[in-house]
C-alpha cells in the first residue's frame, strides 16, 4: 500500500552507518583511542576560516529578509556570477551565470540531472567501484543501470568492457574522478580516450551521450596527480559539483550543476535539469550558504592532514603486504583484501576494532575502503593493528 | 531526447515570477513608490532576533566540523528531540524524535511524502484553490490529481464535491490550512467532517486514505481564528511543515515531515518517506539551520505588520465594492474579480501598476490573489488605486 521501493530504501540499513554506530558503541566499551574507525567519509578538517568569517559577516551586516529570502529557483544571480567567474578563471570554462543551476548538494545535482535527461527505456553507465547511491538515483528515474566492471590494476577505465556496454539505449555515462572509493583520478589519456569512444558512439547512434561528471572531490588531488577539466575534453558533459569536500561543508548541502554552452548540441539541458529539480521540490538552494560558498569558491580547506594520512597508510599497508593502487585524490584508500571474500575480511578486521567498508557495496568485491579523513594519531595507532590483521593471513 | 516534462517545467515562465520582474522594470520607469506589487509570497518581516543570535553563537562557539558535518539522514537526533518536544508542548502530539524526518523545505517534505505513498494507479485529491506546484509534485510520482472545485462562499470544503471525487484509487488528500491563496483556515467543524468522510471511505475501500497536511502557515493565524491540530482529529495524517513563514526563513529551506504513531495502521510510513527522500537525494537537511530552527522552533517572527495590512486591505477593498472572504491566516487576500475573466481583470489592474495574480493559476477563476507581505505604506498608497480600478467596473 506504500511505495515498495521507498519502504525498502528507507528500511535498509547502510553498512557504513552501521559500522559507524558500532564504532561509537565499541568506543564506549574499550575507549575511543582503541577503536580505529575508517568507515565514514565525513571531512575531518575545518572549513577555511573565511567560510566562518563570511557567514558571520553576512549575518551581522546584511538585511536578514534578503539574506534568508528565496533566491531565484536556479540560485541567486550574483552567486551564479561569482561561481561562473571562478570556473572561468580556473578552467577557462566559458561559463555564464545562466549555465549554472545551484542546488542542494551533489545528490540534488545528480538527481536533477538524471531526471532531466532520462526518457523511458534509457540506460546510464557507471564504472565499478562506484558510490552505491548512483544505482538508487538512476533507478528512481525509471532508467536502467549498466555497470562496467573494475580495472583493479589502476582503476582507470576498462575500455573493452565499456565498449560492450554502450548501446543505442545509453543516455549517459557517469564518472566520478577523483573517485570514491578507489581514490583514482582519471588521467588525461583515459578521459581523451573516453571522449573519443563516446563521440564515435554518439555519432553512430544519432544522439548525444551525456558524460555526467560527479566531482565533489575535484580539489582533493595530491602531488603528482591532476584532474583534467572534463568539459574541455568532451562537449556533452554535465558537471555536478558540491562544496562538501573542498570547503569541508558537507552538512550545508550546497552544490551546482554546470551545463557548458553547446552541451547536447542545442538540446535545452539546463532547462531539463531545472524542470526536473522543480518537480522534486528542489528550487532556491539554501540562501545563506549560497552566498558563503560564492564568496569562498576559490578556497579549499587545509587538506594537508589528508596528504599526511594517505602517505602513512599507503606505506604502512604496503609494508605489511597489502596491494593498493596509489590514490591520486579523495581521502579514500581501496586496498585488496587478504582473502577473496571482502565481507569476511572486514569482519576479521572488526574483531581487531579496525572498521573498514567491504568493497562489494561499491560493486568491487575483493577490496575494502578506508576513509582517512581522521586524526593522524588514529592512523599512527592503527598501523600495528593492520600488521596484526595481515599476520592472520600469512 | 531529454525528459519532455522536465524541459516543459524548466522552460515555463511562472506568472508570479513574471509579474515580479515586470514590477521591478516598471519601478525603474515610474519610481518604486508608484508600483503596487502584491505578487510575491516572500515574507517581508525579519526573523526573530533569536534566529540571528543563535546562528552567530553556533558559528562562533561550536566545532565547525560538527556544525557543518552531515547529520543522520533523517536529521540530527538532538534537533529531532527538540522539535518533538515543541510539538508535544504545543499540541500534545505524542511525537518522538523517530517520528520526524527533517528535510529541505515544505517542497522536500511534500515530495518525500508523495513519492513514499504513491503506487501505480493512485490518485491524490487537492482542493481548489491550491498552490500550483501540488500538481507538479503529484504528477512527478506518476499518480493522478483529482481536483475538488472551490466553495467560494467561505473556502471551506464542498463535501458533496469531495464525496464524488473519492474512489478506491484515492491514496491521499492534500490540505493546506491556512490556505495559499485564499487565506482560509479550515474550521474544527470542517476538519471533523473531513475526518469522518475519509474514515468512512477508507473502511469501505479497505485501505487507509492519507491526509497530507501542508502547513507552512500554521502559526500565521489572526485573532478570532484557530487552526486545529489535524493529527488529533484524523489518525492517518502526515504533517508537512516548513519554518519559512513562522521564522521568516524561506530561503533556508528547513522543514520536516511528522508521521504520528499509528498513522496508516501500522504501515511503515516514515520509512517510505525516508526511502523516497533518499532516492531523490534528500538526506541530511542543511546542518547549521537544522540547529537554528530547533533552538527557535517555539518562536515566530513579528507578524503584526501582516495583521495591520490585512485589516487595511480587507476594509479598503470591501469599501470600494469587492467581495472577499475574510482570511483567517496567511498573508494572502483572495477577492472576487470585478469581471469573470480574472486574467483580463489582472491586466486592467496592471495598467494601473497594481500587480495581482489571477486565480486561474490556483484552479479558481474569477478571483485574484494579493500577497500583503509588503510594507504597510504600500498598502496605504494602493487603496486609492484599488478604488480607481473598481470605478472602471461601475
Q: Do A10 and B287 touch (CB under 8 A)?
A: no
Encode pLDDT of B284-296 as tens digits: 999 999 999 999 9
Write phi, then psi, for A98 (nearest 5 degrees): -85, 5
Structure confidence at residue B41 (pLDDT)? 82
Least trusted range by pLDDT, from A349-353, B31-35, B287-291 = B31-35
Name the pLDDT band for B205 (thresholds 50, 70, 90).
very high
Which helix or strand (DSSP H or E) is residue A197 part of? helix A188-205
The mean per-residue pLDDT over the stretch A161-176 comes to: 98
Segment B345-371 shows an average pLDDT of 97
Question: Could you tell me if B224 and B247 are in contact, meaning their C-beta atoms sit under 8 angstroms apart?
Answer: no
Chain mean pLDDT for chain A: 96
Q: What is the mean pLDDT of residues A292-297?
A: 98
Query: In chain A, what are the helix, strand and coil shares in percent, each to the nearest 5?
Result: 45, 15, 40
Q: Which residue of A has its CA nearest to B252?
A: A286
Whole-number Å distance between alpha carbons of A244 and A218: 11
Give me the percent of chain A exceeding a pLDDT of 70.
100
pLDDT at B285: 96
Q: Is the ipTM of this complex over 0.90?
A: yes
pLDDT of residue A162: 98
Q: What is the pLDDT of residue A42?
A: 83
Min CA distance, B392 vs chain A (Å)? Answer: 35
CB-CB neighbors (< 8 A) of B288 in chain A: 55, 251-252, 288-289
Q: Which residue in B has a C-alpha nearest to residue A265's C-alpha?
A: B1
Q: Which of A162, A232, A150, A240 is nearest to A200 (CA)?
A: A162
- Span B289-315, pLDDT tens digits: 999 999 999 999 999 999 999 999 999
Question: pLDDT tier at A249 (50, 70, 90 boundaries)?
Answer: very high
Instruction: Report pLDDT for A183.
Output: 98
pLDDT at A14 over 80: no
- Give residue-wise pLDDT tens across range A140-155: 999 999 999 999 999 9
Please tell me the CATH code under which domain A4-48+301-391 is placed. 3.90.1150.10
Instruction: Please answer yes or no on whether A281 and B110 come within 8 Å at the CB atom.
Output: yes
Q: What does the pLDDT read at residue B130? A: 98
Q: Is the pLDDT of residue B13 over 80?
A: no
Contact assignment for B10 to A275 by CB distance below 8 Å: yes
Name which CATH class applies to A49-295.
Answer: alpha beta
- The band of A230, judged by pLDDT with boundaries at 50, 70 and 90, is very high
How far is the C-alpha of A173 from the C-alpha of A161, rounded, in Å? 13
Per-residue pLDDT tens digits for B213-238: 999 999 999 999 999 999 999 999 99
pLDDT of residue B37: 93
Cis peptide before B178 (omega within 30 of 0): yes
Q: In percent, how much of chain B has pLDDT > 90?
A: 93
- Candidates A1, A72, A121, A249: best to mutate against B (most CBs of B within 10 A) is A1
Query: Quick one: pLDDT at residue B141?
Result: 98
Return the number of CB contacts < 8 Å for A and B: 259
pLDDT at residue B47, rounded to an integer: 97
Q: What is the mean pLDDT of residues A301-329?
A: 96
Contact A276, B10 (CB under 8 A): yes
Element (H, E) at A369: strand A368-371
Q: Cell match 503506487: residue?
A: B119
pTM to 2 decimal places: 0.97
Mean pLDDT of chain B: 96
Q: Using the beta-carbon criterion (under 8 Å), do A5 and B60 form an inter-chain contact?
A: no
pLDDT at A20: 83
**Amino acid B168: pLDDT:** 98
Nearest to B113 by CA among B167, B71, B174: B174
Residue ranges of chain B that CATH labels 3.90.1150.10? 4-48+301-391
Asked if pLDDT for residue A12 goes beyond 90, the answer is no
CATH 3.40.640.10 intervals, chain A? 49-295
Cα-based distances in Å from B181 to B13, B137, B230 = 19, 18, 20
pLDDT at B94 over 90: yes
Judge: A248–B68 Cβ closer than 8 Å, yes or no: yes
Answer yes or no: do A281 and B107 touch at CB < 8 A. yes
Q: B36-56 pLDDT, tens per residue?
A: 999 988 888 999 999 999 999
Question: CA of B387, closest CA in chain A: separation in Å?
Answer: 31
| For range A286-295, the mean pLDDT | 98
Contact A101, A273 (CB under 8 A): yes
Q: A333 pLDDT band (50/70/90 cuts)?
A: very high
Q: Which of A6, A69, A289 sits opposite B116 (nearest CB)?
A: A6
Q: What pLDDT score was predicted for residue B44?
A: 86
By C-alpha distance, the chain B residue nearest A274 is B10
pLDDT band at B15 (very low <50, low <70, confident <90, very high): confident
Residue A171 vs residues A12, A176, B119: alpha-carbon distances, Å:
29, 17, 26
Q: If pLDDT is split at 50, 70 and 90, which confidence band does B212 have?
A: very high
- pLDDT grade for B185, boundaries at 50, 70 and 90: very high
Q: Rounded to a whole number, what is the distance in Å from the CA of B289 to chain A's nearest CA?
A: 9
d(CA B242, CA B43) in angstroms, rounded, equals 13
Please answer yes or no on whether B284 and A43 come within 8 Å at the CB atom: no
Amino acid at each position: 500500500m506504500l511505495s515498495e521501493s521507498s519502504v525498502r530504501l528507507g528500511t535498509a540499513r547502510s553498512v557504513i552507518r552501521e559500522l559507524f554506530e558500532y564504532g561509537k558503541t565499541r568506543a564506549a566499551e574499550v575507549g575511543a583511542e582503541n577503536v580505529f574507525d575508517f568507515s565514514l567519509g565525513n571531512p575531518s578538517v575545518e572549513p577555511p576560516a573565511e567560510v566562518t568569517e563570511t557567514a558571520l559577516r553576512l549575518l551581522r551586516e546584511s538585511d536578514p529578509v534578503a539574506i534568508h529570502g528565496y533566491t531565484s529557483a536556479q540560485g541567486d544571480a550574483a552567486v551564479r556570477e561569482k561561481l561562473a567567474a571562478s570556473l572561468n578563471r580556473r578552467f577557462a570554462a566559458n561559463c555564464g551565470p545562466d549555465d549554472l543551476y545551484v542546488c542542494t548538494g551533489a545528490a540534488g545535482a545528480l538527481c536533477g540531472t538524471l531526471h532531466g535527461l532520462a526518457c523511458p527505456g534509457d540506460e546510464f553507465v557507471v564504472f565499478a567501484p562506484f558510490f552505491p547511491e548512483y544505482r538508487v538515483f538512476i533507478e528512481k528515474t525509471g532508467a536502467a543501470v549498466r555497470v562496467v566492471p573494475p580495472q583493479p590494476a589502476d582503476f582507470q577505465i576498462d575500455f573493452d568492457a565499456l565498449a560492450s556496454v554502450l548501446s543505442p539505449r545509453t543516455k549517459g555515462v557517469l564518472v566520478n574522478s577523483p573517485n570514491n572509493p578507489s581514490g583514482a583520478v582519471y588521467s588525461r589519456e583515459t578521459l581523451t580516450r573516453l571522449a573519443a569512444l563516446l563521440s564515435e558512439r554518439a555519432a553512430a547512434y544519432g544522439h548525444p551521450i551525456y558524460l555526467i561528471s560527479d566531482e565533489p572531490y575535484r580539489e582533493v588531488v595530491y602531488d603528482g596527480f591532476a584532474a583534467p577539466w572534463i568539459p574541455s575534453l568532451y562537449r556533452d558533459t554535465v558537471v555536478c559539483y558540491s562544496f562538501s569536500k573542498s570547503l569541508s561543508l558537507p552538512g550545508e548541502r550546497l552544490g551546482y550543476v554546470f551545463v557548458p554552452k553547446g552541451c547536447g548540441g542545442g538540446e535545452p539541458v539546463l532547462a531539463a535539469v531545472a524542470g526536473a529539480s522543480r518537480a522534486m521540490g528542489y528550487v532556491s538552494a539554501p540562501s545563506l550558504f549560497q552566498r558563503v560558498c560564492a564568496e569562498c569558491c576559490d578556497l579549499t580547506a587545509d587538506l594537508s592532514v589528508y596528504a599526511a594520512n594517505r602517505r602513512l597508510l599507503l606505506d604502512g599497508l604496503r609494508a605489511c603486504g597489502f596491494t593498493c593502487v596509489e590514490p591520486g585524490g579523495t581521502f579514500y584508500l581501496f586496498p585488496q583484501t587478504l582473502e577473496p571474500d571482502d565481507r569476511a575480511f572486514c569482519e576479521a578486521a572488526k574483531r581487531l576494532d579496525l572498521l573498514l567498508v567491504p568493497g562489494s557495496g561499491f560493486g568491487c568485491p575483493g577490496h575494502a575502503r578506508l576513509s582517512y579523513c581522521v586524526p593522524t594519531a588514529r592512523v599512527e595507532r592503527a598501523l600495528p593493528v593492520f600488521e596484526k590483521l595481515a599476520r592472520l593471513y600469512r
